[in-house]
Amino acid sequence: MSSQADQDLKEIHIQEDAKGGAYRWSLDAERAESFPGTRKTLLRKVTIGVEEAGRRWKVTSDEGDLAQETRDVELRGRVVLVSSEGLRVETTVLRWSNADGRTWTDQPVTIYKGGGVVKGTGLEVRPNEEITLVRGRVTATFGGAKAPAGPSPARKGRS
């Protein structure tokens, strides 16, 4: 990609209501660069927030692309989604299709919730339909109610 950005902005904020008003989303980035002819904006240090009745999500990533016309998003690097319900999802790529109302990845994914850990090689989520699919070879480990809801701390003294 050329180093000649059409626009180079620091600290951008976008906020929109979804079609039908079912949820509101916002996008913040430390830096945004638009390049001529690509119709995309390259984002650095991205945070996306989604709010709907009774639930919130926050997604952070190292970088991403925002399609200017469709508002589709691709996040890359260390991508972490955290929900107000205690869910945590980690992957290296996460895409959002605004028209389809779905998010997905074909990269390895780890999901943590309430002491459970699910790992797979892909993920598809359709929030409006309350559908979540973990793809590929899936492993799941479920702990007790008192198990931590996140990555396990390193254990010392075990071989």
Residue 154 lies in a domain: no
Contact of 114 with 145, CB cutoff 8 Å: yes
Give the pLDDT of residue 127: 78
- pTM attached to this predicted model: 0.80
Residue 72's contacts (CB-CB under 8 Å, 6 or more residues apart) are 66, 95, 96, 97, 98, 99
Residue 20 lies in a domain: yes
Please state, in angstroms and as integers, the Cα–Cα distance from residue 100 to each residue in 17, 90, 96, 109, 122, following that order: 15, 22, 9, 21, 18
Residue 2 lies in a domain: no
Give the pLDDT of residue 58: 95
Give the pLDDT of residue 42: 93
Residue 14 lies in a domain: yes
Give the pLDDT of residue 155: 44
Query: For 84-121, what is each residue's pLDDT tens digit?
Result: 999 999 999 999 998 888 899 999 999 999 999 999 99
Tokens of 91: 């992957």
Domain assignment of residue 86, given as a range: 7-142
The CATH number given to whatever domain includes residue 23 is: 2.60.450.10
How many folded domains does the chain comprise? 1
Residue 157 lies in a domain: no
Q: Which residues of the chain have pLDDT under 70?
A: 1-8, 19-20, 144-159
Contact of 101 with 127, CB cutoff 8 Å: yes
- Please tell me the distance from the alpha carbon of residue 9 to that of residue 114, in angstroms, as a whole number: 39
